[in-house]
Structure 1
Amino acid sequence: MLVLASSVILVTASSVIFVTASSVILVTASSVIFVTASIVTLVLASSVILVTASSVILVLASSVILVTASSVILVLASSVMLVLASSVIFVLASSVMHVLASIVTLVLASSVILVTASILILVTASSVMLVTSSSVILVLASSVMLVLASIVILVMASSLTLVMANSVMLVTASSVIFVRAISVILVTASGLMLVTSSSVMLVLASIVILVLASSVMLVLASSVILVTASSVTFVTASSVMLVLASSVILVTASSMMLVLSSSMILVLASSVIFVTASSVILVTASSVILVTASIVTLVLASSVILETASSVMLVLASSVILVTTSSVIFVTASSVMLVMK
């Protein structure tokens, strides 16, 4: 009986020690696993959030830089194109009006010379017919011829001087207007470079072009009317030519401005649509990435927590069962020993 009791006590004690050691080991291991899993989960979640946020910030920053750069380049290119188009239109208009003025000047000069020559021939013939009756009359006729020749020379010289003076005035006026127009265009262009609104640039350019064209046409028309005041028919024809030329220039300038305006509006509209679409796509993509990352993080964390909790519950249940069993065995053995004694 003593041997049996000793055996029971040893078995019970060893069972209790084994169960206790196993429980401690299991509890310690489960705690380490739970802490490790929690740390890993937090690190993974933090890494995912940081990486996702960094990617979104980088994409948004890159998009903003690209959109800003493209907008600046578009505005500068539009300004340069508008200034160049305005310069070309004004140079073409000035060249056309200068050529017309030169043609008018040449026609006037030839008309004055023809009229003067006709008058001189008529006067000379009449004088010769009248003074050919006697030698005295011939002498007088010679004197008259000299006087007439002097008058003819003076008239022709004054006519040519007048024509040349008018030509110089026209050329000088055209040059001054052209220089002033170039200065205005340069000043306006430098101002337009600072303006970011395409509508303001188009309106200013249209006003400058119309004002310059109107000034040039008004000066040239006034000069032509003053020079050609002696011939109503020629003045009428010149006026018609000027009106037609100015109409063609205005229609051409208006058409080009309309085309440029339409192009600018289309380019700006497409740019706005592109920027809006890009922003929507980027915002949607970043939202989807953030939502997906959050869901994945939550699912991973939930899975780890559930698995860890299940392991802990299993270990605790096993420990309780082992402790309960060992306690029952110990109590039973003690009772048997007491009864046997």
Structure 2
Amino acid sequence: MTTAMRDVPRSGNRNERQGAAIVVGASLAGLMTALALSHAGVDVTMLERSAAAPRARKGAALGGVSEGLLSRITRSRHSRAGSTPLSSVAPGVQSWMAVHARLREAVGADPYIELRPHTLVRSVDQDADSAWVITSDQQTFRGDVVIGADGHRSVVRASVAPDKPDATFAGYLIWLGLTNESSLASSRRLPRDVDILSGDEDYLLGYPLPGPDGSVTPGSRQVGWAWYDANHNDLLRETGSVVGNVVHRSLTSADIPEATFRELADKAKNLWPSPWREAILDCIERRAVIGTPIAEYVPDKLVNGRLALVGDAAHVPTPMTGSGFSASLHDAESIAAAVSEAMGATPMAQALRGYERERLHSVRSMVQSGQQFSRSFASAAA
């Protein structure tokens, strides 16, 4: 079988554009990294294994994501002809899907970013002059740098940190659900931000989210919840969601036994107050629940030559830290500055080591602070 070699094109005015990057992964960190690189004058090819529009993440939410913060990363001096203005986000907690959609709109409007969905990266390599990836259909994409933004099961990480390639299971999962506020009979007002509750050995985060149309009018919003549970690790292993000490996938509703749904419903009735109790029971009744095993990864390095990591490929904290989005944004801006520096007189490997020096201590501390919660929480339920 022959291998198709594809050098990433350098588009636009050569006086304005400099260099080419391959970004593996088009989740939040990948999209932000691509945008930051393009702002810095670097052409980007993004390789994403799934469809351009991801599957809905029921109930997944992000705190601290403001319109100002998103405008900072989605701003652009150029856009494709005919591009419509970017949608805005409402104040408060944001759904993962709304933030992803906003970033995806910005990438789609940027003529210097090419997003290639359904492209599975199998391996990564480099030499003194370039770095490249080889896909499952034997295409090779080559650029000045390869950046792994491919999540906690990163393929690129295996080439950056071969002695520590895997994130590890933290010892618990989070049940996630999302329902419409209008479906809840409770008259209790929803909080403006996040409710954090504890009951027995479990924790619950409940939060209002804008409605599907972006509305934040009471009655038209959505209600999300995240239930921290360390008592169903056997189910994770039985279903192959966790193998050994590595997280492989989330539980879908089809993976969850009826007995587990009944157990969760009975427990919710006794543990959680209104309106979160009603929200959980509504999701259980509709079988609109997923279970996400939590992984963690404390990095020892972020770069290897012309290869680098950002986001969950670089560092995986428990969601309880609430720092994942901001850390990924800082990664994106820092690595874009480093790559831009390398387009001048600084060698790429040296510039990327500067990115590592800037970010490594901070992200290690972030993950380690969350590990204190994880170890305490998982051991309490053991």
Structure with the bigger percentage of helix: 1
Using structure 2 for the length normalisation, give the TM-score: 0.18
Ranked by relative contact order (alpha carbons within 8 Å, sequence separation 6 or more), the top structure is 1
Alignment TM-score, normalising by the size of structure 1: 0.20
Q: Which has the higher Rg, Structure 1 or Structure 2?
A: 1
Q: Which has a greater percent of strand?
A: 2
